[in-house]
Amino acid sequence: MALLDVDLSNHIPAGWYATWRIDSFAANRFRVVLRDSQATHVDTNTRGKGGPDLVDTNSKRVGPGLRLTVENISASDGAHVDDDWHLVVNPRDPARSPCAVGYNAFIEDSSDFDLNDLTISLTAHKSGA
Ligand SMILES: [Ca+2]
C-alpha cells in the first residue's frame, strides 16, 4: 500500500506547467512516481547517502490525471506523511478558480518526526495558451 497517493489533477488540470523538486535525507528507500495518463515524469527509488540528495527536479507541461505516489520500500513502521496545498487565485477572476498551486509533502521514515527524510515540492500554473 502506498504511503502517499495524491490525485494532483484535482487542482492541476491538463495543460498546466508543473515544476518539482524531490530530495531525500533518508537512510531508507522510497519509490516516488509522478505520472499522468500520457507520461511518467518520475519513477525512481530514492537513495540513502545521508544527503539531502536531489532525487529529481524538472519542469514540464502535464497531461490529464496527474498523480503522485510514494511507496515505502524499506522504511520502518513509523513512516508518516504531512502535506499541504497552497491555492493562488487571481483576484480579478470572478469564478475564483486557482491560477497557480503549490503542493508540499514531508515524509518521515522513522520515529524522530523531523519529517525531513523525503521532501517533495511541486508548483504548477496555467500555461497561458
Ligand atoms: Ca526522521
Cα-to-centroid distance, 120 and ligand 1 (Å) = 15
Predicted confidence at residue 80, as pLDDT, reads 85
Cα-to-centroid distance, 118 and ligand 1 (Å) = 9
Predicted confidence at residue 53, as pLDDT, reads 86
Predicted confidence at residue 79, as pLDDT, reads 77
Predicted confidence at residue 49, as pLDDT, reads 65
Cα-to-centroid distance, 89 and ligand 1 (Å) = 34
Distance (Å, rounded) from C-alpha 91 to C-alpha 102? 17
Predicted confidence at residue 20, as pLDDT, reads 98
Sign of the alpha-carbon dihedral angle for 95, 127, 53, 7: positive
Predicted confidence at residue 129, as pLDDT, reads 58
Which of the 8 DSSP states describes residue 47?
P
What is the model's pTM?
0.91
Question: What are the extents of the domains in the chain?
Answer: 4-125
Distance (Å, rounded) from C-alpha 127 to C-alpha 99? 10
Distance (Å, rounded) from C-alpha 98 to C-alpha 71? 29
Tens-digit pLDDT profile for the chain (129 aa)? 688 999 999 999 999 999 999 999 887 788 999 999 999 999 998 866 667 788 999 999 999 999 999 998 776 666 788 999 999 998 898 888 899 999 999 998 877 888 888 999 999 999 875
What architecture is the 4-125 domain classified under in CATH? Answer: Sandwich (2.60)
Cα-to-centroid distance, 85 and ligand 1 (Å) = 22
Cα-to-centroid distance, 104 and ligand 1 (Å) = 17
What are the backbone dihedrals phi and psi of residue 96, each rounded to the nearest 5 degrees, phi first? 55, 35
